[in-house]
């Protein structure tokens, strides 16, 4: 039997929610037989290893550097150190040729995914002046096929990045792996709130809660709207007034906003912050229909302001009980991009764009305009009334990210890239973005729908496909990319 946490006070500062830093293990190595033959080689390789450790730390990662290995015994010792360090990713730096026996123990014992990097000192050798010792500093590519073959034979997934020490293209790729490993690690300990009940009839939204920990790890906390009600009842007039002031600072207010509705939304927002703090939530999905203006209907209708503020602070909140979309939004957030609750709205064949967004909570970091609060006398398809949010994605690249569920029950990532473009937008209290996929909007919509994504997803600013591919690789989750 579990005990319901005692409500806490509302946070007074709305800084972004702290994010767990990725812990990256680093082991560099080369064949010890070379050191007495070429005395200048090892010092040069150690300098490269120190530079690699420094660059890895620039990704806001905690680097666990276990040093330089020269034979299989030192490799086994490094493997034990990395196993004890509980890393999110192990990076093996192939500074020159080394045997597979030196790294296979690291790959097998660490319990973490392994990335091999082959970064030679510069772009190319000086062929006219190099001797054998200088050449050996450039032959980290030599053992790479050996490692791939050995990893395959011992059952360890293989991935690598090749380049040179100051190669920004290579470091971008390494960065994708580091961020994805940090995301995988944070998902393994994440806590996802699921409050209320399924929107009646939405088969696609219905999901197997066990698949969250089975796929990504973490915990689903099943909540009731009464968990929110008792916290909203504890919000003082002073706290509600402070939240109203915050709303007026963050949003433009349309003339349609009723002051009493705004105060109620502010109370719900303050109570929602307590709920998230008390249960230690990293994301939240919710829905409650209610009836005839009773308290649960009013709570459900009052969620949009608070859920949008939470989402903007890095705790994604999705309506309509859409757990898989709150997961997708969290994935976008941890990859460094704001992801907003989204569905199809209409196709614009005249302008060649797909219009998409949603009523309810929005991500305030979309950045296309200052967000606006609009008063609504009715929420389409839902009970209640109150304030809703309008905003849009800034012009530029966007990525759609969804989590689908297959007939076999497994989760799959579904993603596509497009471009948010300016143009006319609805003014009905919805988040709306116009996305150009460089193809016929109808054909693209058919392809996206056929992916099995479901009718909600996250729309994020920026290009996230490389990071999503890395996450899919590290978690073993199938990923579908929808292209024109």
What SS3 state is found at 64? strand
pTM: 0.92
Task: Please tell me whether residues 145 and 278 are part of one structural domain.
Answer: no
Domain boundary among 131, 165, 187: 187
**CATH code of residue 314:** 3.20.14
- Given this model, what pLDDT does residue 428 score? 87
Task: Please tell me whether residues 245 and 118 are part of one structural domain.
Answer: no
Mean pLDDT confidence for 411-418: 97
What contacts 479, CB < 8 A, 6 or more positions away? 412, 413, 414, 415, 468, 469, 472
Per-residue pLDDT band for 3 (boundaries 50, 70, 90) equals: very low
Q: Report pLDDT digits (tens) over 55-106.
A: 999 999 999 999 999 999 999 999 999 999 999 999 999 999 999 999 999 9
Q: Report pLDDT digits (tens) over 121-178.
A: 999 999 999 999 999 999 999 999 999 999 999 999 999 999 999 999 999 999 999 9
Task: Please tell me whether residues 200 and 129 are part of one structural domain.
Answer: no
Q: Is residue 107's pLDDT more than 90?
A: yes
Kindly state whether residue 10 falls inside one of the protein's structural domains.
Answer: no
Task: Please tell me whether residues 213 and 348 are part of one structural domain.
Answer: yes
**Cα–Cα distance, 409 to 364 (Å, whole number):** 33
Share of the chain above pLDDT 90, in %: 87
- Given this model, what pLDDT does residue 16 score? 61
Q: Which domain holds residue 223?
A: 190-481
Q: Is residue 313's pLDDT more than 90?
A: yes
H-state helical runs in 2-155? 34-37, 41-57, 72-85, 104-109, 132-136, 144-154
**Cα–Cα distance, 426 to 428 (Å, whole number):** 6
What SS3 state is found at 484? coil
Per-residue pLDDT band for 20 (boundaries 50, 70, 90) equals: confident
Per-residue pLDDT band for 4 (boundaries 50, 70, 90) equals: very low
Share of the chain above pLDDT 70, in %: 96
Mean pLDDT confidence for 23-41: 97
Q: Is residue 6's pLDDT more than 90?
A: no
Task: Please tell me whether residues 39 and 160 are part of one structural domain.
Answer: yes
Kindly state whether residue 205 falls inside one of the protein's structural domains.
Answer: yes
Domain boundary among 143, 165, 187: 187
- Angle, to 10 degrees, between the axis of helix 41-57 and the axis of helix 168-189? 50
Of 2-6, 138-142, 224-228, 450-454, minimum mean pLDDT range:
2-6
Kindly state whether residue 404 falls inside one of the protein's structural domains.
Answer: yes
Task: Please tell me whether residues 348 and 335 are part of one structural domain.
Answer: yes
Q: Given the DSSP bridges, would you call strands 252-253 and 160-164 parallel, antiparallel or unpaired?
A: unpaired
Task: Please tell me whether residues 107 and 206 are part of one structural domain.
Answer: no
- Given this model, what pLDDT does residue 379 score? 79
> Into how many domains does the chain fold?
2
Q: Report pLDDT digits (tens) over 331-371.
A: 999 999 999 999 999 999 999 999 999 988 999 999 998 99
**CATH code of residue 87:** 3.40.50.10940
Kindly state whether residue 14 falls inside one of the protein's structural domains.
Answer: no
Task: Please tell me whether residues 223 and 93 are part of one structural domain.
Answer: no
- Given this model, what pLDDT does residue 480 score? 97
Would you say 99 and 72 are in contact if contact means Cβ atoms under 8 Å apart?
Answer: yes
**Cα–Cα distance, 47 to 455 (Å, whole number):** 52
Kindly state whether residue 12 falls inside one of the protein's structural domains.
Answer: no
């Amino acid at each position: 039997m579990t005990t319901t946490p005692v409500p806490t006070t509302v946070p007074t500062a709305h800084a972004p929610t702290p994010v767990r830093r990725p812990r990256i293990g680093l082991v560099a190595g080369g064949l010890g037989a070379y050191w007495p033959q070429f005395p200048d080689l090892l010092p040069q390789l150690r300098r490269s290893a120190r530079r690699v450790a420094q660059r890895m730390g620039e990704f806001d990662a905690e680097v666990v550097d276990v040093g330089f290995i020269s034979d299989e015994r030192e490799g086994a010792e490094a493997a034990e150190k990395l196993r004890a360090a509980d890393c999110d990713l192990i990076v093996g730096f192939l500074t020159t040729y080394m045997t597979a026996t030196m790294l296979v123990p690291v790959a097998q014992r660490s319990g973490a995914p392994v990335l091999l990097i082959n970064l030679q000192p510069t772009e190319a050798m000086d062929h006219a002046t190099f001797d054998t010792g200088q050449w050996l500093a450039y032959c980290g590519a030599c053992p790479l096929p050996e490692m791939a073959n050995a990893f395959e034979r011992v059952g360890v997934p293989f991935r690598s990045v090749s380049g040179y020490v100051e190669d920004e293209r290579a470091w971008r790729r390494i960065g994708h792996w580091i961020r994805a490993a940090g995301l995988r690690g944070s998902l393994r300990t994440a806590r996802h709130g699921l409050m209320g009940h399924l929107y009646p009839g939405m088969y696609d939204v219905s999901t197997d809660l066990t698949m969250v920990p089975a796929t990504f790890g973490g915990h689903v906390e099943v909540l009731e709207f009464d968990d929110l009600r008792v916290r909203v009842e504890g919000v003082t007039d002073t706290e509600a007034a402070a939240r109203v002031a915050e709303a007026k600072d963050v949003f433009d207010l349309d003339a349609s906003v009723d002051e009493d509705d705004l105060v109620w939304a502010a109370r719900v927002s303050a109570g929602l912050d307590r709920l998230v703090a008390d249960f230690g939530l990293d994301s939240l999905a919710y829905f409650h229909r209610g009836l005839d203006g009773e308290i649960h209907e009013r709570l459900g209708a009052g969620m949009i302001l608070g859920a949008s503020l939470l989402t903007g602070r890095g705790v994604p909140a999705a309506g309509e009980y859409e757990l898989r979309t709150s997961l997708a939004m969290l994935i976008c957030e941890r990859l460094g991009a704001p992801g907003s609750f989204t569905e199809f709205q209409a196709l614009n064949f005249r302008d060649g764009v797909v219009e998409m967004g949603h009523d309810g909570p929005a991500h305030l970091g979309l950045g296309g305009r200052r967000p606006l609060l609009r008063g609504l006398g009715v929420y389409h398809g839902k009970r209640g009334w109150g304030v809703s949010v309008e905003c849009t994605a800034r012009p530029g690249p966007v990525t759609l990210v969804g989590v689908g569920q297959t007939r076999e029950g497994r989760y799959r990532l579904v993603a596509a890239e497009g471009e948010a473009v300016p143009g006319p937008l609805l003014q009905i209290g919805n988040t709306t973005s116009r996305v150009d996929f460089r193809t016929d909007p109808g054909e693209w919509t058919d392809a996206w729908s056929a992916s099995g994504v479901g009718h909600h997803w996250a729309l994020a600013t920026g290009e996230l496909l490389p990071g999503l591919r890395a996450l899919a690789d590290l978690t073993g989750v199938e990923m579908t990319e929808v292209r024109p």
